[in-house]
Each structure stands twice: as C-alpha cells, then as structure tokens.
Amino acid sequence: MNYRKLGNLMVSSVGLGCMGMSQSYGAPADKKEMRELIAAAVDMGITLFDTAEVYGTPDDPHDNEKLVGASLAPYREKIVLATKFGIHFDMSLLKEGKSPIVPDARPEVIRASVDASLQRLGSDYIDLYYQHRVDPKIPAEEVAGVMGDLIKEGKIRHWGISEATEEHIRRAHAVCPLTAVQNRYSMMTRTYESLFPVLEELNIGFVAFSPFANGVLTGAYDKFSTFEAGDMRARMPQFSAAAMEENSQLLALLHGIAEEKGATCGQIALAWMLCKKPYIAPIPGTRERARLAENAGAANIVLSSEEIAAIDERLGAMSMSEVFGVMRN
C-alpha cells in the first residue's frame, strides 16, 4: 500500500467502503467475517474506512457504524475513521415518484448526530465527518460553522461534503476549510471531473465512492448475472442484459489493459483514477478477502499520464449505458 493526502489528512491510496457489509447487497454479511475482513484490511495497510449513521439493517438502522467501530477499536490510532450525517429516509416519497432521501442539516440535528455516532463508533473523535447530502434549506456557511465548532471541541478532526457543487464547496470552505469531497466517480460516471480545478485550488481531496459502478467495472458480471433478494443491483440500469451489451466496448477496453499490465479489470478501474490525480482516494466496498487484496493491489499499478489521456479519449468516444445515481445529459 502507498499513501496520499486528502487536504492535510494522510490516508491509504485505496480505502474501504463498509456500507455493503450491512445493507444494499442482499442479506447483511456475517459480523464475525466482516470483523476479520476489516482486520485484514488494516494488515494490508488500508487506513481509510468509510461508514455513515444511516447504513444499517431493518432491525438496526445504525448497524454499520457499530460494526465498523467495534472492528477498528484495536487499531483506532492507526486508521482514519470517516462517517456521515445529514440525511434520513422517508420511503413514502417513493409513491410520489420522489427520492426517499431527505436531507436535514439543522445545527441541532448535526449535534445530535455526531454525539450518537461517537457513541456507536466507540470513539472520542471522528477523523473525517461528512455532510451526506447538501440540505438546500440550510446555508453552506451555517453547516461549516457547526463543523468549525465541532473541530474546536475535539469531536471531529476534519470534515467534508458528499455530492456537492463548486458553489457549495467554495461557500463552505470559506468558513471552515474542507478536507475532502466524496462523490460518485468511475470510468462510467465522470461528471465531477469538472470539480478538479477547484479542489486543486483549495487543497481539497476527492474520495470516490462506487469506483466500479457498483461492480460492472470489475468484469465479474455479464448479461446473465442475477442477484439475490435485497441486492439493489437487481434494479440498477447498468446490470440489465441490454446495458451489459451496450457496455461491451468498455469492458473490452478494461480487459485489454488488464492483460497488458498483468492486472484485473477492477485494478485498472482503480489505477486509472489513482494515477490521474494524487488527491483521489477510492473507497471500493467488498465482503471478500480476495477482492480486498485485489483492490489494495491497485495502488501499486502505474499508468502514465499518456496512458490516462488515451483511456480518457476512448472513454469519451464510446457508448455506455445509464448508471444508477447518475443523470445523463
């Protein structure tokens, strides 16, 4: 493993997204196995671990924070623990054709959230505390002010925002400097590359979630793939049979580069972003130790700037399917 900075925060180049251990990918994983997986990640040199207060199960909506906190307790001073605040779910909105995600960044809600997360994580502080989604009702400056207070109080050490625009980033950063922006980013979802100049200007890191487009870019799935009950990929447009056909050119590109580099498709998908910018840190999720080791190994694959440019040119010219969570123009 090698390391890089998000702002002034040093993290492993490849982190571990922990959401899928508790939700969205079928039944929750076995807790003993996940504790062992997280310990193995630490042994591999991974230091960035990502969770959120809303990652959970039907029985325990905060399950993931508890799992991650307990698993990382023996290594607390060696790792960077990231969690998120600021949303809840209202499933009744689905009946109206709306997103069930409800942002809520009122100061009193933030303060209740941070205290609850600290208790569930079993920690005195949070290394990186994200606003999970921008709340249009609360000014960026007000949220940033609360973050500044929490830093002064020692409850958090750094803060960030997920799914933010340039305007919101600039407004928030002017009040309390941001350490990271966490957005969806992969070879199939490149919209947020427009933010790179402002991140470089302000010395803000970029944490890439869903770097495999929920698994498509690992090359492990095809048009015949099926998913168990409770696995959200069954409803994602990029996994339909038609989409897998449409993405065949992209997958062929990945396979070709992987063969040339003696790597896997997933490793190339990660190396592409790692070698593009020194402040990008992907947080792929997994429940499998072999995949964990594979993801960590991507940090050692080198793609030159010329190779990155050539890949980008080909990506820009090829047809791709719709992707979950992304609006195509």
Integer Cα distance of 296 and 289 in angstroms: 11
> In one letter, which amino acid is 84?
K
Task: Give backbone dihedrals phi and psi of 55, rounded to 5 degrees, phi first.
Answer: -85, 110
Return the active site residues: 55
Q: In the chain, which ranges are E strands?
A: 3-6, 9-12, 16-17, 48-50, 80-85, 87-89, 101-103, 126-131, 156-162, 180-184, 205-209, 280-282
CA distances from 5 to 41, 80, 173, 254 (A): 19, 12, 17, 27
DSSP letter for each residue of 81-140: EEEEESEEE-GGGGGGT--SEEE---HHHHHHHHHHHHHHHT-S-EEEEEESS--TTS-H
Quote the longest CA-to-CA distance of the chain: 54
Integer Cα distance of 211 and 273 in angstroms: 9
User: 32, 48, 77: which is closest to 279 by C-alpha?
Assistant: 48
Confirm if 71 and 325 have CB atoms less than 8 A apart. Answer: no
State whether residue 182 is helix, strand or coil.
Answer: strand
Confirm if 207 and 176 have CB atoms less than 8 A apart. Answer: no
Confirm if 85 and 116 have CB atoms less than 8 A apart. Answer: no
